[in-house]
Structure 1
Amino acid sequence: MKIISNGNFTAWFRILLWAVGIVIAASSYFFFTGLVMFIGVVIGMLVLATGTYAERASLLHIKPFDNSYEKARRSYEAKDSDQSKP
């Protein structure tokens, strides 16, 4: 089972992140008190935000989890080393 496909999370994993984030935040709010509740709600919101971010990136055809920047960085290093030679 793949989690990342074409530079983004797969659809089932984005929905899973979204649902798990809501469950963590809601259960922390209803079952805990004080600092534990606050930490649980914050963690739930972070998981929910990650799923939402990936979903919006998918709608806009952006690849946030792609490693193409590494390929670009390597290509610039090769050009820089060629120019520095006398």
Structure 2
Amino acid sequence: MGKIKLIEDGNFPRWLRLSLIVVGIAIFYCTIKFVPPSLWSGLLLMIGFGIALVGGMTSRAALYKIKPFDNSYKKARDSYKVKDDENNK
């Protein structure tokens, strides 16, 4: 049995993005439909919205070929470092 990867090519795989959206909307809907208004229902509502938001934003990032969970920023950060011999001039 193969390993399940949660990050592929710097983003979530399609099945995980879709699952986050569906689970977030389900929590959001169940909270509105079945939970009486209280502080806890507001918290559940925000959690469901947040989960769906993460799924939607990563889907948008995949559409635009953006890699939000990639380590390429380390290469960019290293390119700005000054070498010791250049610093002493």
Specify the TM-score bucket, using the shorter chain as the normaliser: 0.7 to 0.9
Identity of aligned residues (%): 40
Mapped pair 1:68 → 2:72: yes
8 A Cα contact 1:20 1:44, kept in partner: yes
Corresponding position of 1:37? 41
Higher-helix-fraction structure: 1
Q: State how far apart, in whole Å, the 1-side matches of 2:80 and 2:39 are.
A: 48
Corresponding position of 1:17? 20
Q: State how far apart, in whole Å, the 1-side matches of 2:71 and 2:20 are.
A: 22
- Structure 1: give runs of 5+ residues left out of the alignment: none
- Structure 2: give runs of 5+ residues left out of the alignment: none
Q: Please, what TM-score do these two structures have when normalized by structure 2?
A: 0.85
Mapped pair 1:57 → 2:66: no
Q: CA RMSD in A?
A: 1.2
Instruction: Work out the number of aligned pairs and report it.
Output: 84
Q: Which runs of structure 1 show a deviation greater than 3 angstroms over 4 or more consecutive aligned residues?
A: none
Q: Please, what TM-score do these two structures have when normalized by structure 1?
A: 0.88
